[in-house]
């Protein structure tokens, strides 16, 4: 069956496997927008791949959402919305720079009970773990989440993660909380950024880059004194 797949077919399948749930319009934006009739082209390709049995789909959403063949989530599961929110964050990043080393639902500790960020990536040269909060939680629960990141920081295990560069000192990723509310969480050891979206993140750094050098060098309470490369 593989001989019937083009390179774009393989890329689309790999992307769906990576993000677990991908809506039709996102596929159009990422793989077909350069064509004369991108929506029609995407629909044609996805119907063919579905009939070949190399992807699954659920039509409980409009437009259709595509899933991996071995998806462990039900086609009616709310988990699909969770994966779509991760995809939306990725797409926002792509409007500025395509992230590298992308891992959906990263489990860097390799054991249960450790940190489990929704997304890891290297974005504009800096590593990030991203937590997407679609629901509102108590500040105690959010601080407990940050405490897990601190525990991992002190373990030093992160220094051996596969994406670390051998030609420079290991970096502990900044933690981005994408949330419509602001939590009173803090850490003296890791960088925490709270924003409503990636667009807000980029606007924040766009504004900070215009400040005088001496003003930028002072850590701020809202950003945790972050020094990351987003320019």
List, for residues 120-143, the tens digit of each pLDDT value.
999 999 999 999 998 889 999 999
Q: What's 111's DSSP letter?
A: S
pLDDT of residue 83: 97
Answer yes or no: are the C-beta atoms of 13 and 48 closer than 8 Å: no
Residue 222 has pLDDT above 60, yes or no: no
Residue 23 has pLDDT above 50, yes or no: yes
- H runs (alpha helix) in 63-182: 79-94, 139-155
Report d(CA 195, CA 201) in Å as an integer.
Answer: 6
Q: Which residues pair with 83 in a beta bridge?
A: none
Q: Which residues of 125-147 are buried (b: 16+ CB within 10 A; e: fewer)?
A: ebbbbbbbbeeeeeeeebeebbe
216: confidence class by pLDDT, cuts 50, 70, 90: very low
Task: Tell me the pLDDT of the chain averaged across its residues.
Answer: 90
Q: Which residue has the higher pLDDT, 204 or 99?
A: 99
Residue 224 has pLDDT above 70, yes or no: no
115: confidence class by pLDDT, cuts 50, 70, 90: very high
Residue 105 phi, psi dihedral angles, 5° rounding: 50, 60
Strand extents, DSSP E, the chain: 22-23, 56-58, 65-67, 100-104, 119-123, 126-132, 174-178, 192-195
Q: For 146-150, 170-174, 190-194, 224-228, which range has the lowest pLDDT when averaged over its residues?
A: 224-228
Distances (CA, A) of 16 to 6, 23, 67, 97, 215: 16, 9, 6, 20, 44
pLDDT of residue 221: 34
Residue 2 has pLDDT above 90, yes or no: no
3: confidence class by pLDDT, cuts 50, 70, 90: low
Report d(CA 199, CA 89) in Å as an integer.
Answer: 9
pLDDT of residue 75: 87
Tokens of 60: 């409980």
């Amino acid at each position: 069956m593989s001989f019937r797949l083009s390179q774009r077919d393989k890329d689309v399948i790999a992307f769906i496997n990576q993000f677990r749930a991908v809506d039709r319009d996102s596929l159009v934006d990422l793989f077909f927008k350069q064509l004369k009739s991108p929506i029609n082209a995407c629909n044609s390709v996805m119907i063919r791949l579905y009939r070949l049995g190399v992807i699954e789909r659920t039509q409980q959403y409009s437009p259709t959402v595509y899933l991996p063949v071995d998806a462990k989530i039900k086609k009616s599961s709310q988990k699909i919305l969770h994966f779509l929110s991760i995809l939306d964050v990725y797409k926002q990043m792509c409007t500025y720079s395509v992230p590298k080393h992308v891992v959906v639902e990263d489990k860097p500790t390799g054991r249960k009970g450790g940190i489990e960020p929704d997304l890891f990536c290297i974005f504009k040269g800096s590593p990030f773990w991203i937590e997407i909060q679609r629901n509102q939680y108590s500040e105690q629960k959010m601080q407990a989440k940050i405490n897990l990141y601190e525990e991992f920081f002190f373990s030093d295990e992160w220094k051996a993660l596969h994406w670390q560069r051998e030609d420079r000192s290991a970096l502990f990723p900044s933690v981005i909380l994408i949330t419509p509310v602001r939590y009173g969480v803090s850490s003296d050891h890791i960088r925490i950024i709270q924003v409503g979206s990636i667009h807000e993140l980029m606007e924040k750094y766009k504004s900070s880059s215009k400040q005088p050098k001496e003003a930028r060098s002072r850590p701020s309470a809202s950003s945790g004194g972050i020094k990351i490369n987003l320019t």
